[in-house]
């Protein structure tokens, strides 16, 4: 049967399917979950259900915090951090930077080497592995057959 006919047949059969009735337990479960949600304090409920006044208060508080942080706290913090860096950069930080640079060079060399080996393997060795395996298997099988033949011949001569 062509797929279009099959699709029509199936669509008709499926269209006649009634919805499976929900189990009797679904409604009580939903109502219990809704009740449990109603029992929660307003701040533990989803943001969209908060009273509009509370939503407005929180938005205003967040904006005020943001403005205060960018106006007052950030310059002080930046000044503090830059002075700390200036005070300590000669000793331990400089040593850490040097160690990080050395580690980065080692990692870069290892990565390049691994990529080169992988590329060489893919280009040269990879395709040959299958052929080499087949040749080795054939060689092994023929040697085995030869050995078995010789063995039989030798035994025949010994016992005859």
Partner 1 sequence: MSDSGRFEAFVRTHQDMVYATALRLLANPAEAEDVAQAVFLKAFEQFDQLSASDSAAGWLKTVTRHACLNHLSRYRRRWRFFSELVSHNDDDVLEAIPADVSIGDQFERAEEHERLARAIRALPEHQRVPLVLFHFEELSYQEIATALRVSVAKVKTDIHRARLSLKRYLSASHA
* Binding flag, residue 55, partner 1 (CB under 8 A): no
* Binding flag, residue 51, partner 1 (CB under 8 A): no
Output DSSP code: residue 24.
Answer: T
* Binding flag, residue 40, partner 1 (CB under 8 A): no
Residues 6+ apart with CB under 8 A from 47: 55
For residue 27, give both structure tokens: 């409604």
- Find the DSSP H helices in 2-51: 3-15, 26-39
Residue 62 CB, nearest approach to partner 1 (Å):
22
Q: Please select the residue that binds partner 1; options are 2, 17, 159, 160, rule is CB under 8 A.
A: 17
Could you tell me which stretch among 14-22, 56-64, 87-95, 137-145 binds partner 1 (CB under 8 A)? 14-22
Angle at 95 between CA 89 and CA 99, to 5 degrees: 135
Answer left, alpha or beta for residue 130, where phi above 0 means left and psi between -120 and 50 means alpha. alpha
Residue 21 φ then ψ, to 5°: -70, 140
* Binding flag, residue 8, partner 1 (CB under 8 A): no
Residue 130 CB, nearest approach to partner 1 (Å):
23
Binding site for partner 1 (CB under 8 A): 1, 3, 6-7, 9-11, 13-14, 16-23, 25-27, 29-31, 33-34, 37, 46, 48-49
């Amino acid at each position: 049967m062509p797929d279009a006919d099959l699709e029509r047949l199936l669509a008709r059969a499926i269209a006649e399917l009634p919805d499976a009735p929900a189990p009797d337990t679904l409604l009580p479960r939903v109502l219990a979950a809704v009740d449990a949600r109603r029992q929660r304090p307003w701040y533990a409920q989803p943001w969209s259900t908060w009273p509009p006044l509370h939503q407005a208060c929180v938005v205003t508080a967040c904006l005020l915090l943001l403005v205060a942080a960018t106006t007052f706290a950030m310059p002080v913090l930046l000044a503090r951090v830059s002075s700390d860096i200036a005070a300590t950069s000669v000793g331990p930080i400089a040593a850490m930077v040097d160690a990080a640079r050395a580690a980065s060079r080692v990692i870069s060399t290892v990565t390049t080497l691994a990529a080169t080996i992988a590329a060489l393997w893919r280009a040269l060795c990879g395709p040959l592995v299958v052929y080499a395996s087949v040749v080795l298997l054939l060689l092994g099988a023929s040697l085995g057959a030869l050995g078995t033949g010789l063995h039989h011949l030798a035994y025949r001569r010994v016992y005859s």
